[in-house]
Amino acid sequence: MKLVELYRREKPVLSLEVFPPRPDYPLETIFATLDALTKLEPGFISVTYGAGGKSRVRTVEIASRIKCDYGIEPLAHLTCVAHTRTEVDSILAQLMEEGIDNILALRGDPPENDPDFDFNRQEYRYAAELIQDARNKSDFGIAAAAYPGGHPECNRLTDDLLNLKKKVDSGVDFLITQLFFDNRLYYDFVDRALALGIGCPVIPGIFPVLNARQIRRTIYLCGASIPAPLLRLVDQYEDDPDGMEKAGIEYASQQVEDLLTSGVPGVHLYTMNKPIQITQIVHNVGL
């Protein structure tokens, strides 16, 4: 099933993201997480893809088991960084063999420990090129990433939106946003995208702040801004992990409630493989 069909229904779609365990951890550790998350009956579950393709095999296997064992549609991440077109063709063929119908097409981050990595020397420089290839060579449902606060490598929001338009025009069915902590960023972004002719569903991606140190690293890596109310919470509970977790759950719940009230087509929760906290948020907002 193409996931975009879910967004043609009246009820907002709950979707979740998980990531494969590190290569030195048993693969089975992810399935205890999935046992709990699937009880929330999400419309789909996305599975991330390691930098430089280091967890690609696990991504495909986990996505396949989500569909076969749990009866839930998976969205397999596919990054093109450090991949040739021949390698991408092989990955797409493998996904099709596993019965996976939907991909999240991303450029991806440069491989770790490669400070001289040059995107201009790659066969794929941009996600739009991957999307176009996947659309021309297969019948996948294709999602892509959007950045309400702007891509960290793009200096102007206008240019970033023009780049997003290229991705959408290459064959994207729907978009999932990068994390943000101020819903006004999302609402403004959607308005600007619509004005530019981007009419596909734009799904807000919500990242619950459950750990003060973790969120600082996450913001450093992705370039997202942190609004004053959340910054005060992080400062207040920096040395109180339990308090930070409770405050983070409440903050994320308020974000989701506001989004649902505004009529978003769905909400995508970045779970960080923490089913207990994600379940609390879902129950708080009645999804």
Query: How do residues 234-285 score in pLDDT, each as one tens digit?
Result: 889 989 999 999 999 999 999 999 999 999 999 999 999 999 999 999 999 9
Domains of the chain are 3-209+265-279 (3.20.20.220)
Which of 16-30, 170-184, 227-241 has the largest mean confidence? 170-184
Tell me the sheet residues that pair with 74: 45
Q: How far is CA 148 from CA 145, 195, 218, in A?
A: 10, 15, 16
Closest CA to 193 of 145, 141, 126, 139: 145
Considering the candidates 5, 10, 17, 41, report the single residue annotated as catalytic. Answer: 17
End-to-end CA gap in the chain = 22
- Can you give the pTM of this predicted structure? 0.94
SS3 of the chain: the string is CCHHHHHHCCCCEEEEEECCCCCCCCCCHHHHHHHHHHHHCCCEEEECCCHHHCCHHHHHHHHHHHHHHHCCEEEEEEECCCCCHHHHHHHHHHHHHCCCCEEEEECCCCCCCCCCCCHHHCCCCCHHHHHHHHHHHCCCEEEEEECCCCCCCCCCHHHHHHHHHHHHHCCCCEEEECCCCCHHHHHHHHHHHHHCCCCCCEECEECCCCCHHHHHHHHHHHCCCCCHHHHHHHHHCCCCHHHHHHHHHHHHHHHHHHHHHCCCCEEEEECCCCHHHHHHHHHHHCC
> What size, in residues, is the chain?
287
SS3 of 204-226: the string is CEECCCCCHHHHHHHHHHHCCCC
Residues 32-57 as b/e (b if ≥16 CB within 10 A, e otherwise) read ebbeebbebebbbbbbbbbbbbbbbe
Q: Name the token pair of 74.
A: 């998976």
- Percentage with pLDDT > 70 across the chain: 94
Does 257 qualify as catalytic in the annotation?
no
Of the pLDDT bands very low, low, confident and very high (cuts 50, 70, 90), residue 51 is very low
Q: What is d(CA 179, CA 279) in angstroms, rounded to the nearest whole number?
A: 19
Q: What is d(CA 23, CA 178) in angstroms, rounded to the nearest whole number?
A: 25
Sign of the four-CA dihedral 185, 191, 195, 196: positive
| Side chain identity, residue 69 | D
Closest CA to 43 of 267, 251, 272, 284: 267
Residues 224-237 as b/e (b if ≥16 CB within 10 A, e otherwise) read bebeeebeebbeeb
pLDDT at 55 over 70: no
Query: How do residues 87-142 score in pLDDT, each as one tens digit?
Result: 999 999 999 999 999 999 998 877 667 667 777 777 888 899 999 999 998 899 99
Which of 111-115, 169-173, 215-219 has the largest mean confidence? 169-173
